[in-house]
Amino acid sequence: MNPSHHDDAFARRNGAPGVFAPGLLSAALLADWATSWLGPEQVRRFGVRFRSQVFLGDVLTCSGTVSGATAGMVELALECRRQDGSVATAGWATFLR
């Protein structure tokens, strides 16, 4: 349990402007967005890369595009962006069609 996620004074002492969300929060938002579109039972692969921190008050927007398709499978490129346009979390997924 990292205190930077719940102790504002600790986070500030360690160079952050305040507490910030665990990276897995934006990963979970991306997974929820993708599975609400294509169904959780269809997931075959899911991965993320954390790009920037998410702070209190940030507004996150998830999106995805089809990056490829084969017989029976669809590949997605996923992003969770902050309100300033920066990518908080980039992801990829493979779903059954």
Read off the pLDDT of residues 60-75 as tens digits, 9 standing for 90 and up: 999 999 999 999 999 9
Give percent above pLDDT 90 in the chain.
96
pTM attached to this predicted model: 0.88
| Partner residues linked to 69 by β-bridges | 74
Query: The sheet that has 87-96: what strands, in order across it?
Result: 43-50, 87-96, 73-81, 61-70
- At 1 the pLDDT is 85
- At 55 the pLDDT is 95
Query: If we measure between CA atoms, which residue out of 20, 93, 9, 5 comes closest to residue 55?
Result: 20
- At 69 the pLDDT is 95
Sign of CA dihedral 7, 26, 88, 60: negative
Ordered structural domains, the chain, with CATH: 21-96 (3.10.129.10)
Specify the 3-state DSSP secondary structure of 88.
Answer: strand
- Answer yes or no: are the C-beta atoms of 8 and 44 closer than 8 Å: no
